[in-house]
Structure 1
């Protein structure tokens, strides 16, 4: 019996994981072998990602595989979108990548639209306008004369940057590039006028490659250091949501998905971009998916709000698990709601104070206990999911018959029930490790072991437990 092991590095905005997916005939399973932190570094009022700490964690994970005698077939990396690093002409990294949470892009879209209209930018890219998009990061760095940008020879998005650090090869993967608001979704290439408008030469961007492409192999020095050998590194769907959507265990195209985590991303999978007046007005985005598909979706602030509240409680000695918080919300009769996508919840000094202030300013009762805060957040998320699904249904080329909830939030049974009731369609929850699973199975497809994304989905549906929540 032939066994194949694929290593997925799945890195989010707060932590990263190394997960081994093992495929043996028609059986597939995953095992976490390492978990490591990922946090922003604040220096002189700027916020950066410690890319060197992430690189060290990747090497540590490879060494763990070697010590555990896990023979790896290939490696894939997925991360959050929009952020990037600058590469010097000699190949060295020009400082730490800036974080999308850095407030330097506040107001940047409005300033940029003075030279190219909002409508024109959306027409060219089909991407939801968000202040931290790569387009506005480059625009603000240019107007601020940010030295790394001025001296860069190449720009690499985070998964491509980490792959470069492992292999020495520079590529630009389609799904991660599509988050930038610089890519034309019809031609799969960067818009030269947009690049020019932010003072960036087209030569700084590498040619776009599709998920499943071989980037290169681990460098000889890393192979010796970790004991793993010169393993192939595959360009999977580098944007974590794209890898997650590849793992939606759907049997027909008539589905919507909700990738529930720090961010909640709700959308559908289509073959061509949806760029029209309604999608523009509703601020929906057209991002890249596997096999050249489009993820037509909207970003919704998700568990970020709850995580920030939880952090504040932990600093006072109150350590609530997610199971604790589910029970707290169920036992509360609180009724106030917030709009999770209000910009005030992006990165406030105190999320608790911001929620209370929002309720008071909108004539609602402010939460008075931890349980009431959790109740407010869960019910507000379900209400927002209902609103976004309504918009999505009006623009979808097909009837949406079910909602697949994937990611860590799929384990939240209360929120799943609330979402089914709010949207009035069945909610199918799982798998919770969708991003890492998609990462691994894109590698398996690259190896010729699976035929297409539907073959991937059939395998996932047969390999992982799913739970259905019907509206009541």
Structure 2
């Protein structure tokens, strides 16, 4: 641990699906404090029917952040985390061939099934241990090969989003472990690219770069950028580039066996383990294994999260109804409980658009009461999310053969006290909620560990726990929630059977 009163300052860049920010992290040897330096929107752009990320605008915002950070004194390092699966292709000169395509773009429709013609589903899962989702990198690349092969032919390197930003800052082309593990091209057991999967999908091997562990110092900001912005050439650390794995570093768990719920646009519920769990049961449940810090593995389920609330709010704004998230929560509290349920992961809820109308249609098709107003829709979403968390938790427990005393909820979603309490009730488990800024704090902690200023993951979690307020929620009314869980399961499993 650092000598007291000698402070270290680092920058954490955290990119989400709708916004990004640069946070200053200050470590005094005992606690980590954070301050927002710059926040900016992350707006996808649709061109000729394709949804892109505006990557050059995002890099401009990184530069603006670095300029603003000058007023805070010496910065020792920076780290960048983002969402998973998306990427850019670079040509032989290091130029971006086209803007990265958004994972919500429709280009991957049917690609999962197409991949099973090239490699069996069983072998595919046995190698990668990844939950099959159309958004995964493997299926994006397969779509390119099938429909736009000229781009792959011109490509020299593929860089996932955090690695792309690291490259633009340093000129170094490497892939960080946690973000690689989101691609469904990663051998989860051997922790490297899978030649078998890459060959089976007939993808060019040359585009895949060296994989480095989370917490690797990959280089310094380039001289060109240093001169352009008038800043020092500080270190760039490949933190856990997938935001979920940076967030997990912040879980204030002192026990070895625990479950976590990273709650934001996506919800990711799982447990931290030493080795991947890949077997018939985990394949049946479609549970994913991701690489984490200190060579840990995260055994988790991806669940559509607060996207449903966020996109509903956007729809109501388009209709001229302006609500804050807290106002929507208050409306939900005043409505009748357990009126109707949805499966948050039904494919109908993935694309952007009129989510409230789709929820009404879902309830009609499943012979339930139809929510009539904003409060009823928000309550339906929250109750359904809480019950889906229980559904996933039961799958996790069945695979690990372990019981857990506490569920650690992390991230912006914990600002919804209603959702936190519903999660405790639905899962019949104590919920420890915090920190809100889990991803940023994990990003900062990894940088400090890379600098040997924090010894290891256990010490990092203790420091973060001491630095943040944690709120506990305890289960209530569990008998009613157990009854409603049976109803919820019947609705989503019957609908799934009809689809099959």
Q: TM-score, normalised by structure 2?
A: 0.93
Q: Distance in 2 between matches of 1:395 and 1:251?
A: 22
Structure 1 vs Structure 2 CA RMSD = 1.0
Range with bigger deviation, 320-329 or 169-178: 320-329
How much does 1:203 deviate? 2.1
The answer for the alignment partner of 1:160 in structure 2 is 163
1:439 to 421, 438, 443: 443
Q: Hey, what's the Cα distance between the residues in 2 that align with 1:390 and 1:53?
A: 42
Distance 2:118 2:233 in 1: 48
Q: Does 1:383 align with 2:387?
A: yes
Equivalents in 2 of 1:111, 1:206: separation in Å? Answer: 25
Deviation (angstroms), 1:315:
1.7
1:44 aligns to what?
A: 48
CA distance in 1, matches of 2:181, 2:233: 30
Deviating runs (4+, > 4 A) in structure 1?
A: none
Worse-matched range after superposition: 353-362 or 196-205: 196-205
2:80 pairs with one of 77, 81, 91: 77
Which of 295, 300, 319 is matched with 1:292 structurally?
A: 295
Cα deviation digits, residues 322-376 of structure 1 (max 9, x gap)? 2112111111105111000101100153111110000000001111111111111
Q: 1:319 and 1:415 mapped to 2: Cα distance?
A: 21
Deviation at 1:397, TM superposition (A): 4.8
1:21 aligned partner: 25
Deviation at 1:39, TM superposition (A): 1.8
Q: Partners in 1 of 2:15 and 2:207 — Cα distance?
A: 25
Residues 65 and 228 of structure 1 are in contact (CA less than 8 Å); yes or no, is this contact kept in structure 2?
A: no
Distance 2:442 2:371 in 1: 39
**1:341 corresponds to:** 345
1:248 and 1:260 map into 2 onto residues whose CA distance is 12
Does structure 1 conserve the Cα–Cα contact (< 8 Å) formed by 2:329 and 2:375? Answer: no
Alignment of 1:36-435 (within 5 A): 36-66=40-70, 68-334=71-337, 335-435=339-439
Unaligned runs of 5+ in 1: none
Counterpart in the other structure of 1:4: 8
Contact 2:87 2:160 in 1 (8 A): yes
Determine the C-alpha separation between the residues in 2 that align with 1:70 and 1:200: 46
- The SS at the match of 2:260 is strand
Equivalents in 2 of 1:90, 1:202: separation in Å?
18
Query: Bigger shift: 370-379 or 317-326?
Result: 317-326
Shift of 1:201: 2.5
> Could you tell me the TM-score, scaled by structure 1's length?
0.98
Query: Secondary structure in 2 aligned to 1:180?
Result: coil
- Secondary structure in structure 2 of the residue aligned to 1:414: helix
Partners of 2:127 and 2:189 within 8 A in 1: no
**Gap runs ≥5 in structure 2:** 477-500
Report deviation, 1:226: 2.1
User: CA offsets per residue over residues 4-47 of structure 1, 9 Å max, x none?
Assistant: 01100000111101011100020211111111111211111111
Instruction: Work out the CA distance in 2 between the residues paired with 1:103 and 1:40.
Output: 14
Q: What's the secondary structure of 1:179's corresponding residue?
A: coil
Instruction: Quote the offset at 1:186 in angstroms.
Output: 1.4
CA contact (8 A) 1:411 1:430 kept: no
Deviations 1:101-131 (A, max 9, x none): 1111011101111121111100011000000
- For the residues of structure 1 that align with 2:229 and 2:353, how far apart are their CA atoms? 41
The whole-number CA distance in structure 2 between the counterparts of 1:408 and 1:294 is 23
Cα displacement (A) at 1:86: 0.4
Structure 1 pair 234/348, CA: closer, same or farther in 2 (3 Å)?
closer
What does the per-residue CA deviation read over 1:59-99, in whole Å, with 9 as the maximum and x for residues that have no partner? 00000001x23321100000000111101011111111111
Write the deviation string for residues 306-329 of structure 1: whole angstroms up to 9, x where unpaired.
Answer: 111000111222221121121111
Instruction: State the distance in 2 between where 1:381 and 1:402 align.
Output: 18
2-side partners of 1:232 and 1:7: how far apart? 10
